Structure 1
Amino acid sequence: MELAQSVDKSPFMVEIVEQLKKLNRLGKSLYVAVGIHEPSSRSQRVKNTLVYLDESGSILQRYQKLHLFDVEIKDGPILKESRAVEPGTEIVPPFNTPAGKLGLGICYDLRFPELALRLRTMGAQILTYPAAWTVKTGPHFQLLGKSTAVLTQSYVILPSQKGRHTTQTKQEIARDGLQSNRESFGHTCIIDPNGTILAQCSDVGQEETLCVADIDLQRLATIRQNMPLWNQRRPDIFGYKV
């Protein structure tokens, strides 16, 4: 909570905006989605936010995480994201990007198919879920990504933090020293509408890695045409249409 700052005052975001502007001046356009924590005006908690910036550094979209990671395991860890994070209250409609129409989620949102299904109904071609996934549930990460891609017939992009880091406050660091008390799973990947991993980052060592893949919207359209799932849904039976 101590590190949460508004976008215009965050040194992290200011640096990203400056780099985007610099690339743009060199004729190299880059659009980025960035996960940040913002202060909330409604409570003492922070907002877990995903912002999407264009090549000039302007924020085009902002999404606040809907589903919070609250897990209490008997004789095990207790993780309560809701203690420090304020849940979002709305879905951001998919929006146009150079790669296609993009729908936004964050980390734990991946476990709730309603969001992905609604985004697909709203026109999404690509879904992204930036994550700091736990190692203990690591095997679920790409499995959920693949199933989401197949269920929605969409590309799924899973940027994922890796390595060890701390969840300590400044006071705890001052008292106990810096401790790497949390490890994230990594395994960043890009998945096609058939559930095939097109590209994946190496998770050997602590170095930052990058993966890229082509987004083929014509292939996506063909997949959806050949198996028209959205024309075959049964809201008359289930009582609602996601």
Structure 2
Amino acid sequence: MSTVKVGLIQIHCGKIIEHNIQKTIEKIKGTVKKGAQIVCLQELFSSEYFPQTVNVKNYDLAENIDSGTLAEMGELAKELAIVLIVPFYERAGTGIYFNSAAIFDADGECLGITRKNHIPDGPQYHEKYYFVPGNTGYPVYETAYGKIGVGICWDEWFPEVARLMSLQGAEILFYPSAIGSEPDHPEISTRSSWEKAISAHGISNGVFVAATNRVGQEKDMNFYGGSFISDTFGNILASLDDEEGIIVQEINLKDIERTRNMLQFFRDRRVDTYAPILQKEMLSTPSLKSKNKQSAFLFKET
């Protein structure tokens, strides 16, 4: 299959979980009516963004992987014959919680769980209180409609995540998100930077990118939406503004080979020079003296 239709859901979440789920199901069916074959929901789609505050009661929102919500989504994927990416708050054990996404194939089978690796912490983004860093790595799923990778919200900013999934054969990178206002910098919107940073992964790796975000006011935060799908050159193919809605966009997976044959980033990688990237601390700049020594060595006649 060379062409596939990708669908994204962007909704405003209210206080009542059942209402959010039902609204999402209606939107999913709306994308299928427009031909969507792979559909991605926004991060923590069933509830308001609870990490705005630190509250032990919010742990009660976590679900087991065999919860009723996920079972319903699996049945829906089977009924509609779609691949469905379902982000959820995962209860993995007593006191162990992950920010996760379940990937259902078109026959309703759960292909696996991706757990969010990079956990942010800042004003009204108190995620380290709620989530353990992921331990699933960066899996790629071979679905009925193509190979996909999933990075959850903060993961989407890191180029290493996109590269690792792309190297494993991912053709479309999905990024379910929950991003909006910055309470300590109310004068700044990250929306443009968000779109540029994520769509740039498509350029660097020659893949399609699909990022979906929530939208609207939730307690003290405003989420700016802006869900989009971009191509292998980082061009925005379809997007939403700051309103609820859906995107359905057809893409041609053959464009991946065409792009990579033009921009040979994979061929020209110098993995033998990348060891310093594994160091946590900032790298110091070599002194002029050491640079001169290196230059003398490099250009010494033999």
The answer to whether the aligner puts 1:66 opposite 2:117 as a matched pair is yes
Residue in structure 1 matching 2:79, options 12, 17, 22: 22
Distance 1:53 1:90 in 2: 16
SS in 1 for 2:154: helix
Contact 1:130–1:160 (CA under 8 A) maintained in structure 2:
yes
**SS at 1:90 equivalent:** coil
- The aligned counterpart of 1:8 is 66
Q: 1:189 aligns with which of 219, 223, 228?
A: 228
Give the secondary structure class of the aligned counterpart of 1:114.
Answer: helix
Aligned partners of 1:112 and 1:84: how far apart in 2?
Answer: 21
Question: 1:203 Cα shift?
Answer: 2.3
Query: Closer, same or farther in 2 for the Cα pair 1:228/1:91, shift >3 Å?
Result: same
Unaligned runs of 5+ in 2: 1-58, 183-189, 279-302
Q: Percent identity?
A: 28
Q: Which amino acid aligns with 2:66?
A: D
In 1: Cα distance, 2:152 partner to 2:176 partner: 5
CA distance in 1, matches of 2:125, 2:245: 28
Q: What is the CA distance between 1:4 and its match in structure 2?
A: 0.9
Larger Rg: 2
Coordinate RMSD, CA, aligned: 2.1
Q: Does 1:34 align with 2:86?
A: yes
Alignment of 1:1-242 (within 5 A): 1-10=59-68, 12-23=69-80, 29-41=81-93, 44-71=95-122, 77=123, 79-136=125-182, 137-165=190-218, 180-204=219-243, 208-239=244-275
Residue ranges of structure 1 left out of the alignment (5+ in a row) = 24-28, 72-76, 166-179
Change (3 A) 1:92 1:186: same
Aligned-partner Cα distance in 1 for 2:79–2:168: 34
Distance 2:192 2:212 in 1: 15
Residue identity matched to 2:67: K
The answer (yes or no) to whether the contact 1:99–1:215 under 8 Å persists in 2 is no
Q: Classify 1:119/1:241 alpha carbon distance in 2 versus 1 (closer, same or farther; 3 Å).
A: farther
- Partners of 1:229 and 1:164 in 2: CA distance: 41
Partner Cα distance (2:169, 2:276) in 1: 18
Code of the aligned partner of 1:185: Y
| Corresponding residue pairs, total | 213
**What is the distance in 2 between the residues matched to 1:9 and 1:228?**
44
Q: Following TM superposition, by how much is the alpha carbon of 1:78 offset from its aligned partner in structure 2, in angstroms? A: 5.6
**Kindly tell me: are residues 15 and 164 of structure 1, through their superposed partners in 2, closer, same or farther at Cα, counting changes over 3 Å?**
farther
Q: Which has the higher contact order (CA 8 A, sep 6+)?
A: 2
Q: Relative to 1, partners in 2 of residues 1:183 and 1:236: Cα closer, same or farther, differing over 3 Å?
A: same
Contact kept in structure 2, 1:45 and 1:83, CA below 8 Å = no
SS at match of 1:211: strand
Q: In structure 1, how many angstroms separate the alpha carbons of the residues matched to 2:136 and 2:108?
A: 24
CA contact (8 A) 2:171 2:208 kept: yes
Distance across 1 between alignment mates of 2:99 and 2:175: 12
| Contact 1:132–1:185 (CA under 8 A) maintained in structure 2 | no
Whole-Å Cα distance in 2 between the matches of residues 97 and 55 of structure 1? 8
Amino acid at match of 1:194: F
Offset at residue 51 of structure 1 (A): 0.8
Could you tell me how far apart the structure 2 residues matched to 1:101 and 1:67 are? 23
